[in-house]
């Protein structure tokens, strides 16, 4: 599968050509004959613009500083700003309704239909806009092609037209705002208008793979991070919606990082779709998250991070632009990275990360295979402030397959592939609550990161599998009675909550929400899976 390796696309920060420096551009405008033809066929005005490919970091910095008002941070990272949109706009994301993919797509609230003609209009709008720009460049978080791959580069498998600085037209059919993100599987193209948030393009690519991998290759795409033990070579997948800890917990000094967000579980192992990470910067510190902190240097891009005007030091505690401050860095910047990001080994453990804002789910539970299917389909967690437009505090949500905003097929298709693979390779599954404990959001606090790390270590060492377990009622979960280094009461929320009555009330409330949410999938699953959920 080479699709993402060659994806030529435009960065969210489209660069202008500076005429005084045009010799630089000529040097890097290394498009070869067939590319020129391809781009002019696509509608680009090749007499007017230069498409620069794979320019070095220094040149991209110069461009961004000169033309975008970007800043160099004290550690050498580039600081840039995405304008009005600082998170994803799920209501403005659409998929083109066309013959080749229409029967596979799960139409409904997530996948909004767009007709082929409207796509053409927006595509043309994007290209027209890009033609008015002096330069268009391509460089991002995806896997960078090797020189050999570049030399043999044929037609692109997929193109993203990112005209994020230019709005959608509100008189165009179906537009609900000035933002539109749309995928066309027949044309193998994506168009972005009216948002410069980098996560939109990154997650757009994930949606593309969430369709192509299962449908065209029979492989399972995962909204998960993945790492591999340095000593044992054991592979762990961490599923989770935004803000649950995929990036944070997969950066682990004892393990090699395969990737922090988007993977494929293939017949032979696990591979990363991307070539870089996109970490949250809010309250980042060298002490709590050293690998991520140290990855923020020359060649990384900070997005919407406030800086000290004198020292140019980023202030990770300042959320005045957004809580969703980010840093994109190449995966090589993590000291323990598995490069290339692929392992020929089947996973040993699956960790389902949830951020429970009710504070009633235990920090760790061992799931049976049926419970794993149930929780995967339910996808309970909270939305993190800032990652989506309009989310201001943690909002409980059921994000099926821990990837609802990016889902393309019916959830049951991913879930059955997952169950099949887990059974075949005898994978252990753990539900980890990185959210609130001993009280809900507003009264309690988030499970301290050091305890979650201790739990994850105990999963990897095999210690947790050997622990003594007790039953956690209502949800019928197996939870450890003790784990050295973690206060006993923290392991069992029924002990941790001082107000027992309030605890029972919240627990039952959440159980009721599960039952309601799972009703959507009831008819698609085995009786055993249906019964694996909470009982009030």
Ligand X SMILES: C=C(OP(=O)(O)O)C(=O)O
**Tokens 């909002």 found at:** 395
Q: Which of 88, 263, 366, 460 binds ligand X (CB under 6 A)?
A: 88
| Cβ proximity to Mn ion, 246 vs 421, nearer residue | 246
Contact 307, 79 (CB under 8 A): yes
Picking from 63, 112, 81, 315, the residue whose alpha carbon sits closest to that of residue 198 is: 81
Q: Answer with the entry of ligand ADP, ligand X, Mn ion, none that 248 interacts with (C-beta below 5 to 8 A by kind).
A: ligand ADP
> Could you say which of 94, 246, 263, 375 is catalytic?
246
- Among 112, 127, 449, 513, interactor with ligand ADP by CB under 6 A: 449
**What are 383-386's contacts with CB under 8 Å, separation 24+?**
383/241, 383/242, 383/243, 384/241, 384/242, 384/243, 384/280, 384/323, 384/324, 384/355, 385/323, 385/324, 386/86, 386/87, 386/319, 386/322, 386/323, 386/324
Q: Active site residue: 52, 93, 94, 203, which one? A: 203
CB 519, min distance to ligand X, A? 26
**Contact between residue 83 and residue 59 where contact means Cβ atoms under 8 Å apart:** no
187 is catalytic: no
**Minimum distance of Mn ion from residue 225's CB (angstroms):** 7
Report CA torsion sign: 222, 368, 419, 373. Answer: negative
Applying CB under 6 A, among 279, 319, 431, 464 the residue interacting with ligand ADP is 279
DSSP letters, 413-482, are HHHHHHHHHHHHTT-EEEEEE-SEESS-TTTSEEPPHHHHHHHHHHHHHSTTTTS-EEEETTTTEEEES-
Least distance between ligand X and beta carbon 371 (Å): 23
88 has catalytic annotation: yes
239 in contact with ligand X (CB under 6 A): no
Burial of residue 154 (CB within 10 Å: 0-12, 13-18, 19+) is exposed
> What mask, x for binding Mn ion by CB under 5 A, covers residues 213 to 252?
---------------------------------xx-----
Give the other-Cβ count within 10 Å of 465's Cβ: 14
100 as an active site residue: the answer is no
Please give the structure tokens belonging to residue 152.
């043999």
Please, what is the minimum distance in Å from the beta carbon of residue 159 to Mn ion?
25
Q: Is 247 a catalytic residue?
A: yes
- How many chain residues interact with ligand ADP (CB under 6 A)? 18
**Catalytic: 454?**
no
Q: Which partner in Mn ion, ligand X, ligand ADP, none is near 282 (CB below 5 to 8 A by kind)?
A: ligand ADP
429-448 mask for ligand ADP (x: CB under 6 A)?
-----x-----------xx-
Q: Closer CB to Mn ion, residue 70 or residue 353?
A: 353
Q: Which residues of this chain interact with ligand X, rule CB under 6 A?
A: 88, 199, 202-203, 242-243, 246, 261, 278, 387
Q: Which residues of this chain interact with ligand ADP, rule CB under 6 A?
A: 240, 242-249, 260, 279-280, 282, 434, 446-447, 449, 452
């Amino acid at each position: 599968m080479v699709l993402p390796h060659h994806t030529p696309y435009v960065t969210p920060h489209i660069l202008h050509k500076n005429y005084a420096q045009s010799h630089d551009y000529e040097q890097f405008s290394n498009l070869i004959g067939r590319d020129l033809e391809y781009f002019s066929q696509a509608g680009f005005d090749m007499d007017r613009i230069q498409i620069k490919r794979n320019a070095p970091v220094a040149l991209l910095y110069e461009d961004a500083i000169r033309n975008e008002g970007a800043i160099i941070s004290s550690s050498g990272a580039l600081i840039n700003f995405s304008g009005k949109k600082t998170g994803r706009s799920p209501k403005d994301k659409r998929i083109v309704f066309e013959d080749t993919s229409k029967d596979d797509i799960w139409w409904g609230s997530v996948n909004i239909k767009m007709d082929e003609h409207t796509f053409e209009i927006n595509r043309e709008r994007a290209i027209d806009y890009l033609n008015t720009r002096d330069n268009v460049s391509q460089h991002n978080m995806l896997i960078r092609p090797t020189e050999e791959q570049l030399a043999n580069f044929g037609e692109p498998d997929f193109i993203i037209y990112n005209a994020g600085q230019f709005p959608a037209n509100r008189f165009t059919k179906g537009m609900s705002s000035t933002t539109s993100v749309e995928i066309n599987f027949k044309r193998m193209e994506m168009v972005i208008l009216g948002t410069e948030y980098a996560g939109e393009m990154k997650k757009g690519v994930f949606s593309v793979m969430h369709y192509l991998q299962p449908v065209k290759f029979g492989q399972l795409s995962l909204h998960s991070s993945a790492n591999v033990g340095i000593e044992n070579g054991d592979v762990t997948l961490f599923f989770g919606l935004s803000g649950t800890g995929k990036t944070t917990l997969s950066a682990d000094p004892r393990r090699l990082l395969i990737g922090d967000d988007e993977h494929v579980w293939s017949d032979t192992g696990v591979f990363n779709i991307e070539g870089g990470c996109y970490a949250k910067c809010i309250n980042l510190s060298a002490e709590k998250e050293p690998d991520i902190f140290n990855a923020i240097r020359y060649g990384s891009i900070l997005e919407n991070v406030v800086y000290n005007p004198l020292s140019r030091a980023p202030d990770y505690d300042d959320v005045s632009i957004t809580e969703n401050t980010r840093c994109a860095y190449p995966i090589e910047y993590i000291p323990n990275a598995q490069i290339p990001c692929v392992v020929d080994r089947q996973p040993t453990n699956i960790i389902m990360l949830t951020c429970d804002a009710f504070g009633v789910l235990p920090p760790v539970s061992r799931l049976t295979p049926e419970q794993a299917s149930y929780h995967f389909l339910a996808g309970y967690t909270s939305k993190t402030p800032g990652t989506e437009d309009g989310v201001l505090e943690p909002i409980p949500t059921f994000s099926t397959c821990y990837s609802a905003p990016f889902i393309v097929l019916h959830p049951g298709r991913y879930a059955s592939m997952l169950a099949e693979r887990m059974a075949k390779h005898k994978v252990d599954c753990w539900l980890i609550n990185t959210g609130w404990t001993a009280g809900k959001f507003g009264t309690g606090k988030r499970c301290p990161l050091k305890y979650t790390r201790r739990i994850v270590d105990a999963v990897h060492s095999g210690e947790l599998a050997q622990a003594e377990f007790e039953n956690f009622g209502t949800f019928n979960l197996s939870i450890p009675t003790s784990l050295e280094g973690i206060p006993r009461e923290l392991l069992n929320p029924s002990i941790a909550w001082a107000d027992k009555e309030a605890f029972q009330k919240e627990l039952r409330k959440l159980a009721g929400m599960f039952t309601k949410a799972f009703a959507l999938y009831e008819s698609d699953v085995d009786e055993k899976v249906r019964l694996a959920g909470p009982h009030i």
